[in-house]
Amino acid sequence: MPEYFHSVTLDRDKCKGCTNCIKGCPTEAIRVRDGKAVIIEERCIDCGECIRVCPNRAKAALTEGLKDIARFQRPIALIPPSFYGQFPPQVSPGSIAAALQAIGFARVVEVGLAAEYVTEAVVKYVKEHRTPRPLISSACPAVIRLIQVRFPSLADLIIRVEAPIEVAAVIAREGEEGEGMFFISPCPAKVTSIKQPVGRASSGLDGALSMAEVFGQILPVVRRVEPLPGYPQASRIGTSWGRSGGEREGVAGRSLAVHGIHHVIKIFELIEQGGLTDYEFIEAQSCPAGCVGGCLTVENPFVAETNLRYIASTYPRGWGQRPKVADEVLRLVKPITPRKIWQLDDDAARAMAKLLLLQETEKELPGLDCGSCGSPSCRTLAEDIVRGRASINDCIFNLRERVRRLAEEMVDLAGKLPPAMAGGEGETIDPK
């Protein structure tokens, strides 16, 4: 298994090296070199921001396809609440479940159901762990990776409760071993979390399909099928997890919900500086409006959020009687370790020398953060130079200045003919 699996991939043939993607990457994971984007593996958190902004569709998410479910006799679809938000409220959950059966799934299980168990576990965790504060939700895998890469000091604040998709896999597999379990994913981060989990040894799922692809497949049939009985399975609280603020609504106490990866970064910076300690709980989601706005969805995030809010408002508030799920299913068992990507050298003295060199190099750069060099900012270019991945001449302003100085020198030299040549302006020697 490679050190890092990434759902987000680059099609080099489609990439035009336009540099649009390098600026929005929250972990400065992209460079453009030799006219093509390059993703630095250890920095990428699979948030999908680069998929959203690439005008040439050169970035994509690697997922399973519908043909992969055919390998299993009784494939199961795990559908998150955000999937319901992609449809207008007139399309019932029972019709969506029936349409999924029509394209080949044997069973359909709502992840919202598992979100209810997770809500209970989070409430208990917050109550039992009085310090430190604020505690951060573990539900969004892009946010977990953001903490590993950019905010290692916040790792201890992550609530050690399993994400709903893994709990849903356990509930769905109950009594039926050997089935294919596929998540209908709104984002590449969840695909990555199945292939390479953080906080647990392995995933209980067999793969993930793109929500956009599945939506396209069931659209022709969803209004024609007879709705399946028994849906929705989840109540209002579990279903609300698909949008920003939904998870927070189930947790008592002072809490805050933030969505959109760049807003999440601002909140984490505040926490890193010692702020927000009077908050019990932070719900943080990488995508705009929450999972409904993942880059593998089809509807406008705000329309999908409104759809989901309406659908959930028609559901019962409480979750009533449910079978018990074992405590260990709900627990994140493995440590969430920071990725040491900003370290310039393993040796402390060499790292310090490189840091000084980086600071000196940065002073030589114009500070415009234009991205023309293929690095997202002047500071990252300085870092790339120190790491031996770039040259000072990659800065076009620096290069232009050097060319200008060279041109001046050449003009100067052109006016200076050797003394042996007639009319030369070289140094004259008195013949006496």
Which residues contribute to the site for ligand SF4 (CB under 6 A)? 8, 15-21, 25-27, 29-30, 32, 37, 39, 44-50, 54, 56, 58-59
- Cα 321 to Cα 156: distance, rounded to the nearest angstrom: 33
Query: Closest distance between ligand SF4 and the C-beta of residue 39, in Å?
Result: 5
Kindly give the pairing relationship between strand 36-39 and strand 107-110. unpaired
Residue with tokens 């609300």: 240
Query: Closest distance between ligand SF4 and the C-beta of residue 59, in Å?
Result: 5
Closest CB to ligand SF4 among 21 and 336?
Answer: 21
Q: Is 152 exposed, middle or buried (0-12, 13-18, 19+ CB in 10 A)?
A: middle
Closest CB to ligand SF4 among 44 and 91?
Answer: 44
Closest CB to ligand SF4 among 99 and 261?
Answer: 261
Which among 163, 160, 159 is positioned nearest to 183, based on CA atoms? 163
Query: Closest distance between ligand SF4 and the C-beta of residue 118, in Å?
Result: 25
Closest CB to ligand SF4 among 37 and 184?
Answer: 37
Query: Closest distance between ligand SF4 and the C-beta of residue 54, in Å?
Result: 3
Closest CB to ligand SF4 among 38 and 355?
Answer: 38
Residue with tokens 């060199």: 357
- Cα 107 to Cα 74: distance, rounded to the nearest angstrom: 7
Query: Closest distance between ligand SF4 and the C-beta of residue 366, in Å?
Result: 22
Q: Is 39 exposed, middle or buried (0-12, 13-18, 19+ CB in 10 A)?
A: buried
Query: Closest distance between ligand SF4 and the C-beta of residue 107, in Å?
Result: 32
Query: Closest distance between ligand SF4 and the C-beta of residue 198, in Å?
Result: 15
- Cα 43 to Cα 30: distance, rounded to the nearest angstrom: 9
Q: Report which DSSP code applies to 339.
A: P
Closest CB to ligand SF4 among 269 and 409?
Answer: 269
Helix (H) or strand (E) holding 283, with range, is: strand 281-285
Closest CB to ligand SF4 among 35 and 426?
Answer: 35
- Cα 95 to Cα 218: distance, rounded to the nearest angstrom: 10
Residue with tokens 């349409």: 99
**Residue 323: how many CB atoms within 10 A of its CB?**
7
Query: Closest distance between ligand SF4 and the C-beta of residue 55, in Å?
Result: 6
* DSSP letters spanning 157-171: GB--B--HHHHHHHH
- Cα 262 to Cα 52: distance, rounded to the nearest angstrom: 14
Give SS3 for 84: helix
Closest CB to ligand SF4 among 295 and 385?
Answer: 295
Closest CB to ligand SF4 among 263 and 331?
Answer: 263
Closest CB to ligand SF4 among 123 and 341?
Answer: 341
- Cα 423 to Cα 138: distance, rounded to the nearest angstrom: 81
| H helix runs in 48-180, sequence order | 49-53, 66-69, 81-84, 93-102, 111-128, 141-150, 164-173
Sequence length of the chain is 432
Query: Closest distance between ligand SF4 and the C-beta of residue 8, in Å?
Result: 4
- Cα 330 to Cα 114: distance, rounded to the nearest angstrom: 10
Do the Cβ atoms of 6 and 189 come closer than 8 Å? no
Query: Closest distance between ligand SF4 and the C-beta of residue 80, in Å?
Result: 19
